[in-house]
Amino acid sequence: MQPDPTSTAVTPTLAPAMQAAPTEIYLVDADTLRLVDVNQTARQNLGYALAELAGMTPLDLAPWVDAAELQRLLGELGPQVGAEVNLRTHHRRRDGSTYPVKLCFLRIERDDRPLFLAVGDDLSLEVAAERALEQYQTRFNAVVNHTPGLVYQFVRHADGSVAYPYLSEGCHALLGLGAAELQAAPERFLALILPEDRAAYLETMQSSQADNAMWNWEGRIWVEAFRDVKWINLRATPLALQGSAQGGTQWDGIMTNITASKRAQTELEHSRARLAELTDHIEQVKEQERARIAREIHDDLGGNLTAIKMALAMLSARLPDDAALTEKAEYLDDLVDRTIEAVHRISLDLRPSTLDLGIVAALEWQAREFEKRMGIACWFHSVDADLDLDPDHASALFRIFQEALTNIAKHAGATRVTVTLRRQRQHLTLTICDNGRGILPSDRLKPQSFGLLGMSERARALGGTLTLSAAPGGGTMVVVEILSPKA
């Protein structure tokens, strides 16, 4: 509607503060719904000049709004000044593009003329944020729902009550309970845990809450829906609740089904135990066979060689005075002596007779033999003159010592070896230190490191441990610790 040129009435306008406001502001005639004035922000958003807007109504700017619906909405304002109603719609710009807007209509009066003041908020950023949030939520749900396990939020309030604000779709597959069921009765999760595992669950929860540290727990649950026991792993990060001075905490985490890995671990441990038993049995059989062969070599072959030497001495005494025959006899006598020494050495290698005198004597003898053969100083010390070990334990400890000395001779480049054997309460400890080049981490990973592996397996078969580390001052230190037969 064009203004009447004969009228002396002044056309209402927006106050300067409203003209400069960052929000859109419209002054609307209450009778005709014509736009009387529009501030600068609205004109810029719409792309219209003030003269162009003067002939329009809110329905021209928002053609999606039904005229009757707009009239009904504005009718809710009533006659009183100051009432307001809200409308969410889209405004169409001069170029045809649109943007979301929220309009707040207020009834005012200027010079006895009824007017509407419409304040518009451009919702483009808000709508964009909502869409981004929806996309994020969609992606989050896709990731969570494809995560193997149960993603959850768990809250423990100051009074000890618990709640599950969020549970992913994996709830039923893992626990046999729907998310709504568990949220309605959150105490049911504790009831699922086997009685013997509940104490650890509660203890790790309290520790995580007290230290504000990661909550990590493994335990078993009984899933009634599947009539089965499951192993689950729980990992969650704690967060103190805002305004919760009394100790309320929320955990965000994930529960996963580790039943298969636990069964595999149990089977592996059982297999290792069986393998260790088999290895120990094989070693015992080997030692027994070595002892048998050593005895036979010593008794039979040694006895025969001694008889040959005696007979050879008798024959040599009756030989005619012939230099060639005498030389041959002396050669045969020397050959028999060397063979007797070889038999003695082989017997000792198979099973040192000094083991019959005790482990201390056997280790001390081996240290002297190593020093004599290799030219490497080897010092042995034991507070106890003897230690009562059963033959199998003594043989195994002796073989570990032999292998350690062999490794030193082959690889260490050492000039000195120090060996100590001591008993401490229920443990017997053998320590072997050299001043060589030391052992590198890569040396332990070599595929053919059967010496180290054999030493470790022998120690494990004795119910003990074997550790390798750098020796004080350089070199390598091997420590074998086994249970002592006497405290």
Contacts of 279 (CB under 8 A, 6+ apart): 457, 461
Of 349, 367, 402, the domain-final residue: 349
At 243, the pLDDT band (50, 70, 90 cuts) reads low
Domain tally for the chain? Answer: 4
Residue 154 lies inside a defined structural domain of this protein: yes
Are 237 and 154 within one domain? yes
Q: How far apart are CA 243 and CA 421, in angstroms?
A: 62
Are 436 and 373 within one domain? yes
3-state class (DSSP) for residue 436: coil
Are 121 and 227 within one domain? no
**In the chain, what percentage of residues exceed pLDDT 90?**
36
Mean pLDDT of all residues in the chain?
A: 85
The predicted structure's pLDDT at residue 5: 45
Are 248 and 317 within one domain? no
Residue 344 lies inside a defined structural domain of this protein: yes
Q: In sequence order, what E strands does 40-122 have?
A: 84-92, 98-110, 113-122
- The predicted-structure confidence for 458-477, as pLDDT tens digits, reads as follows 888 777 888 888 888 788 88
Are 163 and 114 within one domain? no
**Angle, CA 87 vertex, CA 42 and CA 101 arms, to 5°:** 40
Q: Mean pLDDT check: name the lowest of 117-121, 128-132, 161-165.
A: 128-132
Q: Across-strand partners of 356?
A: none
- The predicted-structure confidence for 19-42, as pLDDT tens digits, reads as follows 999 999 999 999 899 999 999 999
Residue 49 lies inside a defined structural domain of this protein: yes
Q: How far apart are CA 151 and CA 149, in angstroms?
A: 7
- The predicted-structure confidence for 135-194, as pLDDT tens digits, reads as follows 887 787 777 777 778 999 999 998 889 999 999 888 999 999 999 999 999 999 999 999
**Angle, CA 107 vertex, CA 101 and CA 108 arms, to 5°:** 120
Residue 120 lies inside a defined structural domain of this protein: yes
Are 283 and 238 within one domain? no
Are 362 and 478 within one domain? yes
Residue 139 lies inside a defined structural domain of this protein: no
Residue 132 lies inside a defined structural domain of this protein: no
The predicted structure's pLDDT at residue 8: 46
The predicted structure's pLDDT at residue 137: 78
Mean pLDDT, residues 299-315 taken together: 80
Q: How far apart are CA 37 and CA 293, in angstroms?
A: 118
The predicted structure's pLDDT at residue 330: 83
CA atoms within 13 A on the CB side of 39: 19
Are 100 and 208 within one domain? no
Spatial CA neighbour of 39 closest among 25, 52, 57: 25
Q: What is the DSSP letter of 32?
A: T
> Which residue segment(s) compose the domain that 269 sits in?
264-349
Spatial CA neighbour of 277 closest among 285, 289, 266: 285
- The predicted-structure confidence for 46-105, as pLDDT tens digits, reads as follows 999 999 998 899 999 999 999 999 999 998 887 766 678 999 999 999 999 999 999 999
The predicted structure's pLDDT at residue 97: 94
Mean pLDDT, residues 365-378 taken together: 89
The predicted structure's pLDDT at residue 445: 55
Residue 195 lies inside a defined structural domain of this protein: yes
Mean pLDDT, residues 440-454 taken together: 63
Q: How far apart are CA 269 and CA 250, in angstroms?
A: 37
Are 220 and 295 within one domain? no
Mean pLDDT, residues 218-225 taken together: 92
Q: Decide: 174 and 156 in contact? Cβ < 8 Å.
A: no
Tokens standing for residue 202: 């509660």
Are 417 and 332 within one domain? no
Are 282 and 176 within one domain? no
Spatial CA neighbour of 163 closest among 172, 152, 178: 152
Of 257, 275, 294, the domain-final residue: 257
Spatial CA neighbour of 229 closest among 197, 253, 199: 197
Q: How far apart are CA 465 and CA 462, in angstroms?
A: 8
Query: What is the CATH number for 83?
Result: 3.30.450.20
Q: How far apart are CA 88 and CA 104, in angstroms?
A: 9
Is it the case that residue 450 has pLDDT exceeding 70? no
Are 318 and 373 within one domain? no
Q: Decide: 225 and 178 in contact? Cβ < 8 Å.
A: no
Tokens standing for residue 63: 């053609």
Which has the higher per-residue pLDDT, 247 or 67? 67
Contacts of 486 (CB under 8 A, 6+ apart): 387, 388, 423
The predicted structure's pLDDT at residue 199: 95
Residue 454 lies inside a defined structural domain of this protein: yes
Q: Decide: 478 and 432 in contact? Cβ < 8 Å.
A: yes
Q: Are strands 416-424 and 377-382 parallel, antiparallel or unpaired?
A: parallel
Is it the case that residue 388 has pLDDT exceeding 80? no
Query: Which range in 274-288, 381-395, 409-423 is most confidently predicted, on average pLDDT?
Result: 409-423
The predicted structure's pLDDT at residue 441: 64
Backbone phi, psi, residue 91, to 5°:
-95, 140
Tokens standing for residue 302: 């040694």
Q: What is the DSSP letter of 319?
A: S
Of 257, 275, 299, the domain-final residue: 257
- The predicted-structure confidence for 180-215, as pLDDT tens digits, reads as follows 999 999 999 999 999 999 999 999 999 999 999 999
Q: How far apart are CA 164 and CA 149, in angstroms?
A: 16
3-state class (DSSP) for residue 435: coil
